[in-house]
Structure 1
Amino acid sequence: MASGKNLARHDLPQFYLLVALYFVQGIPVGLAFGTIPFLLKSMSKTMSFTSLGLFSMATYPYSLKILWSPIVDSCYNSRIGRRRSWIIPIQLLSGIMLYILGYNVSNGTVFPGVDNDSVGVPGESDLLSLTMLFGTLVFLCATQDIAVDGWALTILSRDSLSYASTAQTVGLNIGYFLSFTIFLSLNSADFTNKYLRSNDLPYGLITLGGYLKFAGIVYLIVTGYVAFCVTEHPGRSHYIKGKLYQRGSTLPSSTKEMNAPQYNDDEDEEEESTKSIRYIYGRFWEVLKLPAVQTLVGVHLVSKIAFQCNEAATNLKLLEKGFKREDLAVSVLIDVPFEIIFGYYVAKWSSDNNNNNNDKLDKEQDVTNSIHGTILRETQFKKMSFLKKLQIILFGNNTGVLTPWLYGFLGILFAAILGSFVVAMFPNTGIVTKPYFIMIIIQHLMGSFMNTVQFVGISAFHTRVADPLLGGTYMTLLNTVSNFGGTWPRIIIMYLINWFTIYQCSDGTIVRGTPEQCPLNTTTTTTTDTILIRDGYYITNLICVIMGIFIYIMVIRPNAQRLQQLPLSSWRCS
């Protein structure tokens, strides 16, 4: 049997299937979380951060999916399968909606001006319609995510469960960067003229409308594969000594124990009871009553406050200052191979830490709880090197599955600090030098890589503690709270940036937010004659970083140390 440190060969087809499902999910997510706000800001650099915060509400369904997760887990057609009953129709609807939306964007009836500069810039009504349309797409993605998360717990053997988070990371990142970084690069006339064309043209290689139609076709292809080429329980057969054994067949006990892949089959045993929505919601509330789950929920709700200003506003501030869209796209494009390649190794890191932690728990438990153990630890600490002492101070004395997540937190915190420095150092001439461009790349790499470390680390932990009896509901609860921790502060952060920003108008009037707030009583445009007195981005980012340091010391580190030491029984409600 596989050691659990490497992805088992018999799980490779299921792993690639999960990557494909998370990939299509990442396409609308990349559009809603990255591309659309970026396009809105590039079309109107004076657009307020409060308005962009309004559009961020389109991402809320991804953080509220736990509300309808029990319905997805309990309502299904047994002939089609528990997960396929939702994945097939949801992806079919998403594909059709993307294609129709792309057709309307190309015609200028939705998001006017994005594919045709002569149409103008979107107004408030256009922003509201965009929020509703992409909010619907994100809702469909969130529903698909519930089903896929639950499917991952059963189609991968227990040897490879920790790699469900790797499939999610690889798939989502490819879809996200295809819809954000790669799209913005190919959509930019300057980028394509500079790198891909021999003759300059006033438009890019692809338009938003064309990309949306392409994304719709990709959705339909993947949906067709799931509908006609995949069963509800793929990979449940295996070869033993040259003979094919199907799931449920009689095997010699010794052979079965040594060679047969083991799966989470609890949900099949409880299939009838879990068809009840009332049952699923009841078990859901029982899970929420668990002290371990309540602690983890509290950690998730505050753990991402430190990064929100950097993640939501740093790139937009660079764009506002005059950083070219194609250059920003290139700097982010470099992140893609790092995200994909290192996602695998972070999952292995988490898996190794988990295995080592489990091996040590029983041996150290008696020493840990004794007075002699305390004295022994203090003596050992004094003999350690400075770097080892620093590691214990920052991450705790016990390594485990959450250790990569702690490293990721401090890494993203450093990237947030670096974000303010990068924005402040933007050249007054507007000419981006090579050293400055390299600094931006380093800041992006630091933030994106450490974000991957955090994401894979916490996803591996969720997979480890989730009860497969509740299917996708348990995983969705933990993932939803984690997502919500990064969603609920964003609109507040955007408002604070606006509130702290002060401009002096040409007539001496002081206004908050944007130059557009100035009185329209001058002969020239208001944006030309205004003076920026205070940029609220720096103040807001500083507040977030200070809060992040305090939260890490007082909440995150001690609780992460304790949670990763708990036995699995602490996470079960039965």
Structure 2
Amino acid sequence: MTSRRKVTNSHINDEFAQVLQQHEEGQKGHNEAKDEGLGSDRGNVLLLLFLYVLQGIPLGLAGSIPMILQNRHVSYKDQATFSLSFWPFSIKLLWAPLVDSLYINKMGRRKSWLVPAQYLIGFFMLLLSSVINDLLGEDSQHTPNVVFITCVFFALNFLAATQDIAVDGWALTILSRNNVGWASTCNSVGQTAGYFMGYVVFLALESKDFCINYLGQKDSLVTLPGFLYFWGIIFCITTTAVWLLKHEKDNLEVTVDDPDFGLVGTYQILGRILKLRPIQDLIIVLLTCKIGFAAADSLTGLKLIESGVPKDRLALLSIPLTPVQVLLPFYISRYTAGPKPLNPFMVGYPLRLLFGFVFAGIVWITPVFKQDDGSYPFYYYCIIVFIYLIHQVFANCMFVGVMAFFARISDSSVGGTYMTLLNTFTNLGGNWPAWIALRYVSELTWKSCSGVVNILSCNNKHNEEACESEGGVCITDIDGYYVESVILVIFGFLWMKWGLKTIKRIQNLPTSAWTVSKRNG
């Protein structure tokens, strides 16, 4: 559950960063919109909302795949491999200037990328619907083809990230000046709704147990092939409608504060930002600060499934967490106003680190709650939700503090490029430690063969099969999850000695230390 939520947050982070950066302007826009009404922009707001919903569908489906793979008993190395499919949204800065600069005039600046990206997503889904069961090992004795699945969902997320770049840009020109503040709302609400349908709703309706016990059905209501086929058709139909019926019209009044430097100019601006010494120190902080959370964020949910907690129940636990994730940042933002926005980050960091031990403890005692029929009582899920809610407070203290700091230091003349660059390193700082944690947890796990004298170890597939063929049972003596939890949390506290000192230093720098433009220099 944690790793999936993390993927959604990394996507929402970009939008909330824009909200913080443009808070005063956006609030003014909303107030004016309230007075005057949406008027002719009502249809444009609904269109943007729907496009962001579509964007969230493949993200939600990608988030559900690790849950399905865990039930297929794939290795954690395979889970690490699949985690690479989430990277496109963290590295979209690499091709964002291309999407902004290269286009077909006749088709439109944004539709030149939006239409092909959405068509390809639809075709991918239609094609995938016919082979996904074979790839996941559903209808055969073959093991899941994790590498191929990873490539497919990497491509889907790459296309969704490209669509995101195009829609974000279109949102600034499709809405009038008074209503441009609705762009962030459409992104946050639409994308969250799409992810919710692709992840929570799909896993719930795909679960036979959930449909029988809670919906009174005799079987699951949807299958993964059917879900992919349905949304593939929706993507193709709606993309055709947008292509033929919706025309672009640039609103120069909106874009005047976000100058177009062109393809080469944008990459030159990125280079100038990266040469700043404070930026280099900040990047090192961003790439290393989440190492201590890697085991808790990437492995806890999978370990709960391994203990027998149904994946659909874990998905449903996201329901009470979703409003907290959306509303809590806005409450915390009142404490990030002023010259010290990173103070909440420094307060929340050690407390969030301690939750690495809390999550490890929950995984440790989870089998105690397991009932004779293999189910878990209602109060167990209440405990899980309560712990995650508290964890969200500390996680959002860090998140909001960082986003507010980004908004304060970003050079306003290149604000979009500046913020996207910083968010890229923020997301990468969470992705690479998660991959390491998933990749090496098996190497830190020690299993022994019980009941067979001549076989001592079950630490590889060959020995495990040999043990079981001889009538033995593989027993986990040392779980790498707990090893990683302890090592990484300790690393996190050691990191604080350097990291918090560095954070205090860069937070005290004047705004001029972060500027790159001649206008602000």
Name the amino acid aligned to 2:464: C
- CA distance in structure 2 between the aligned counterparts of 1:479 and 1:231, rounded to whole angstroms: 31
Is 1:57 matched with 2:84? Answer: yes
SS in 2 for 1:486: helix
Structure 1 position 129, deviation (Å) = 1.1
Q: Which moved more, 1:310-319 or 1:456-465?
A: 456-465
> Superposed, which structure 2 residues align to 1:480-559 within 5 Å?
480-506=424-450, 507=452, 509-511=455-457, 513=459, 517-518=463-464, 520=466, 522-523=468-469, 529-556=473-500, 558-559=502-503
> Superposed, which structure 2 residues align to 1:183-332 within 5 Å?
183-197=202-216, 199=217, 201=218, 203-220=219-236, 223=239, 227=243, 232=248, 263-267=254-258, 271=260, 274-275=261-262, 277-332=263-318
Structure 1 position 101, deviation (Å) = 1.5
The corresponding residue for 2:53 is: 23
Structure 1 position 299, deviation (Å) = 2.0
- CA distance in structure 2 between the aligned counterparts of 1:210 and 1:71, rounded to whole angstroms: 35
SS in 2 for 1:77: coil
- CA distance in structure 1 between the aligned counterparts of 2:459 and 2:176, rounded to whole angstroms: 53
Structure 1 position 504, deviation (Å) = 0.5
Does the 8 Å CA contact 1:346/1:457 hold for their aligned counterparts?
A: no
Distance 1:530 1:437, change over 3 A: same
Name the amino acid aligned to 1:83: R
Name the amino acid aligned to 1:195: Y
> Superposed, which structure 2 residues align to 1:34-433 within 5 Å?
34-44=63-73, 47-105=74-132, 108-113=133-138, 118-123=139-144, 126-151=145-170, 168-197=187-216, 199=217, 201=218, 203-220=219-236, 223=239, 227=243, 232=248, 263-267=254-258, 271=260, 274-275=261-262, 277-340=263-326, 342=327, 346-347=329-330, 349-350=332-333, 352=334, 356-357=337-338, 398=340, 400=341, 402-403=342-343, 405-406=345-346, 409=349, 412-428=352-368, 430-431=370-371, 432-433=376-377
Name the amino acid aligned to 1:25: Q
SS in 2 for 1:494: helix
Distance 1:467 1:408, change over 3 A: same
Does the 8 Å CA contact 2:411/2:514 hold for their aligned counterparts?
A: no
Structure 1 position 334, deviation (Å) = 2.9
Structure 2: 5+ residue stretches without partners? 1-21
Distance 1:166 1:503, change over 3 A: farther
Q: Which moved more, 1:491-500 or 1:556-565?
A: 556-565
Structure 1 position 318, deviation (Å) = 1.1
Distance 1:223 1:519, change over 3 A: closer
Output one character per residue of 1:458-514: Cα deviation in whole Å (capped at 9) or x when no partner. Answer: 455545655576585444322221111111122211233111110111335444656
Distance 1:48 1:89, change over 3 A: same
Aligned length: 482
Name the amino acid aligned to 2:56: G
- CA distance in structure 2 between the aligned counterparts of 1:219 and 1:165, rounded to whole angstroms: 22
The corresponding residue for 1:240 is: none
Does the 8 Å CA contact 1:297/1:481 hold for their aligned counterparts?
A: yes
CA RMSD between the two structures:
3.7
- CA distance in structure 2 between the aligned counterparts of 1:484 and 1:297, rounded to whole angstroms: 10
Q: Which moved more, 1:317-326 or 1:557-566?
A: 557-566
Distance 1:292 1:2, change over 3 A: closer
SS in 2 for 1:531: strand
Distance 1:160 1:332, change over 3 A: same
SS in 2 for 1:498: coil
Is 1:442 matched with 2:464? Answer: no
Does the 8 Å CA contact 1:502/1:510 hold for their aligned counterparts?
A: no
Does the 8 Å CA contact 2:458/2:467 hold for their aligned counterparts?
A: no
Does the 8 Å CA contact 2:69/2:136 hold for their aligned counterparts?
A: no
Output one character per residue of 1:162-208: Cα deviation in whole Å (capped at 9) or x when no partner. Answer: 986665444433332322222211111111111111x5x3x411111
Does the 8 Å CA contact 1:22/1:172 hold for their aligned counterparts?
A: yes
Does the 8 Å CA contact 2:278/2:513 hold for their aligned counterparts?
A: no
Structure 1 position 38, deviation (Å) = 0.9
Q: Please tell me whether Structure 1 or Structure 2 has the larger radius of gyration of its CA atoms.
A: 1
Distance 1:311 1:154, change over 3 A: farther
Distance 1:122 1:545, change over 3 A: same
- CA distance in structure 2 between the aligned counterparts of 1:546 and 1:27, rounded to whole angstroms: 37
Structure 1 position 134, deviation (Å) = 0.8
Does the 8 Å CA contact 2:134/2:140 hold for their aligned counterparts?
A: no
Does the 8 Å CA contact 1:188/1:204 hold for their aligned counterparts?
A: yes
Does the 8 Å CA contact 2:413/2:517 hold for their aligned counterparts?
A: no
- CA distance in structure 1 between the aligned counterparts of 2:178 and 2:408, rounded to whole angstroms: 11
Does the 8 Å CA contact 2:103/2:113 hold for their aligned counterparts?
A: yes
- CA distance in structure 2 between the aligned counterparts of 1:471 and 1:233, rounded to whole angstroms: 23
SS in 1 for 2:104: coil
- CA distance in structure 2 between the aligned counterparts of 1:476 and 1:5, rounded to whole angstroms: 19
Distance 1:293 1:19, change over 3 A: farther
Structure 1 position 313, deviation (Å) = 0.9
TM-score by length of 2: 0.79
Does the 8 Å CA contact 2:89/2:158 hold for their aligned counterparts?
A: yes
- CA distance in structure 1 between the aligned counterparts of 2:236 and 2:99, rounded to whole angstroms: 21
Does the 8 Å CA contact 2:447/2:475 hold for their aligned counterparts?
A: yes
Identical positions, percent:
32
Name the amino acid aligned to 1:184: L
